[in-house]
Amino acid sequence: MHVPYVTTFVVSEQAEKLSPLLMETLQEKLEAMGANCVSLHWLEPGRACDIYHGEMPPQPALRALDAQLQIECDRVSQSTQHRQKKLLVSDMDSTMIHQECIDELADYMGIKPKVAAITERAMNGELEFKAALRERVGLLKGLPKTALQEVYTSRITAMEGAQMLVRTMKKHGAYGLLVSGGFTFFTQRVRMMLGFDEDQSNQLLWDGDALSGKVAEPILDKESKLQSLLAACAKLEIDTQQAMAVGDGANDLPMLQAAGLGVAYRAKPVVQAAASAAITHGDLSALLYVQGYAKDQWVCG
């Protein structure tokens, strides 16, 4: 029998485990929504489980299902077609790494609260991204070149599961593109650290050995991220349904909405509300379960 949809339930390693009884209960609830459930398949006992079904319940019903879960659990519903993606396009700051690099540079100068407040409003979609970036870069004028390496070495840390996600997808034939409204100095290094194939971002401009307070034009923004995804699909000769995009801020929304699976990862509320999927409890390795990869298919380290 053809099974066109799957709902994946994932809990973090720290959370209460998924029990067979809970999964059977969730299967019954999906059936009550008219989902015509067919089978249940464990990707990792206690942690990740698929329920295959013949119909996709409407989003309000699925959100009601989320509300009935009594444990911290991420839930993603999608078509089974093109489930394992051939392209990963991801934001960097607060997605593949824990930090916002521009805020860390500001902290080095002792002005983090001022810059971070602008960053927060921009990521919430309250400010136009290009103007907000120019304003923040202007505040960094005079920062020495040496500070960038010091900040990267001492402060930048990979998000849990990031390397496993990128390297597992690459092992299975996917292409990894890191696309950021941040800066090339950092995206180049994070690309190599995590195993992405390519990075695209903004270029800081210098006045001798210090930042000039300006960024090269044109600025990579939300529309640029969307175009990067579309160009990568064309290059790989794949449909956008075969792409997964991941991000946390409002400037990620166009690419999240264009991808076959757009994931709001620990994202701002406006992004969670508009994306097709959200991960709020687990780490990035949850996106391997979401694609149907069992634990023994992962590339660790």
Question: Does the annotation count 103 as an active-site position?
Answer: no
Q: How confident is the model at residue 14 (pLDDT cuts 50, 70, 90)?
A: confident
Q: Right CATH number for 84-98+158-301 from 3.30.460.20, 3.40.190.10, 1.10.390.10, 3.40.50.1000?
A: 3.40.50.1000
For residue range 52-96, what is the model confidence (pLDDT) as tens digits?
999 898 888 888 888 888 889 999 999 999 999 999 999 999 999
| pLDDT value at residue 243 | 98
Peptide bond into 218 cis (omega under 30): yes
- What is the domain partition of the chain in residue ranges? 1-81, 84-98+158-301
Q: What is the pTM of this model?
A: 0.96
Q: Which of 50, 66, 74, 93 is catalytic?
A: 93
| pLDDT value at residue 104 | 97
Give the residue among 93, 91, 71 at the shortest CA–CA distance from 281. 71
For residue range 122-172, what is the model confidence (pLDDT) as tens digits?
999 999 999 999 999 999 999 999 999 999 999 999 999 999 999 999 999
Q: Which of 91, 103, 248, 283 is catalytic?
A: 91
Question: Does the annotation count 248 as an active-site position?
Answer: no
84-98+158-301 has the same fold as 1-81? no
What are the Cα distances from residue 171, in Å, to 48, 228, 278? 21, 22, 24
Domain 1-81 class in CATH: alpha beta
